[in-house]
A = this chain, B = another copy of it.
Amino acid sequence: MTAPAPLFDRLALIGIGLIGSSLARAARDYGLAREIVCSSRNAATRAKAMELGIVEAAFADPIDAARGADLIVLCTPVGTFGDLARSIAPHLKPGAIVSDVGSVKEAVIRDVAPHLPEGVHLVPAHPIAGTEFSGPEAGFATLFQGRWTILTPAVGTPDEVVERVAELWRRCGSNVERMDPAHHDRVLAITSHLPHLIAYTIVGTASDLEEDTKSEVIKFSAGGFRDFTRIAASDPVMWRDIFLTNREAVLEILQRFTEDLTALQRAIRKGEGEALHDHFTKTRAIRRGIIDARQA
């Protein structure tokens, strides 16, 4: 039995942080590309990527990584995508596929698609996986296993092009689903963006407390708080860009959240035990669903 042929000749990862380096490792370990290169503006990051042996070359200029690649994956914060696309576009090989790993999809299409020349395909992707750690040393090849990757290609993108990107993620161990980009952004606003916003808020509230209380908050964090601090340790630039680019969906779900929080606050103030109990009971069904879906 022989291993399946590589899916791509040259895979270019623009940015080599947690997700980019995990994809590099998976592509290397599972033989998904003949050549894997990356770019990073940061010299230390480039040196680290080379030292880890996860790429054959690490360039300062994304153009040098993208040149001659048949798959280019943008793995930097989404706020950089417009400039990146404009910069690499003239150097892309005909038939090349541009993809990404960004957590928002409408803004990515808006910022990237207009720059791409005819004959270059855009297949936006979002692997829903991660940890609270950042940088090339934080990645690992199995990060995507059992998780979902959502693809949001434009109507009219050739099926075989979408399928090549889908196959890349499947070979990384991921389940793949296609979705409308606006719908993706609404779903992720609740499953990911709002939880991060809330976690950042509560940890910020705690860090504004008086110093002596703050040290106790750290000491006694095992009661729930530490889980929020883990979420709120994610990369600040990445999250700034997510909130700026998925503004409307986030504000809409935040509005619902605030209404619900106000209702619970009133129930506490009025001592309405039954209302609290009912609310705390109904949330269990969702947890059961997540356990049943093996995403727990």
Residues of chain A touching chain B, judged by Cβ–Cβ distance below 8 Å, are 79, 103, 128-130, 132, 147-148, 150, 177, 186-188, 190-192, 194-209, 213-234, 236-237, 239-241, 243-244, 247, 250-251, 253-254, 256-258, 260-261, 264-265, 268-269, 271, 273, 276-277, 279-287, 289-290, 293, 295-296
Contact B231 A227 (CB under 8 A): yes
Contact A286 B217 (CB under 8 A): yes
- For residue A200, give the distance in angstroms from its CB to the closest CB of chain B: 6
Partner of A103, one of B223, B231, B232: B223
Contact partners of A293 in chain B: CB under 8 A: 218-219, 221
In the complex with contacts A243-B268, A251-B269, A264-B200, A223-B188 CB distance below 8 A: yes
Contact partners of A194 in chain B: CB under 8 A: 202, 205
Contact partners of A130 in chain B: CB under 8 A: 223
Residue from A150, A199, A205, A265 with most neighbouring chain B CB atoms (10 Å): A205
Residue from A128, A150, A222 with most neighbouring chain B CB atoms (10 Å): A222
Contact partners of A256 in chain B: CB under 8 A: 205, 208
Contact A264 B195 (CB under 8 A): no
Contact partners of A192 in chain B: CB under 8 A: 220, 223-225
Contact partners of A279 in chain B: CB under 8 A: 200, 204
Contact B218 A286 (CB under 8 A): yes
In the complex with contacts A226-B295, A243-B276, A247-B269, A220-B187 CB distance below 8 A: yes
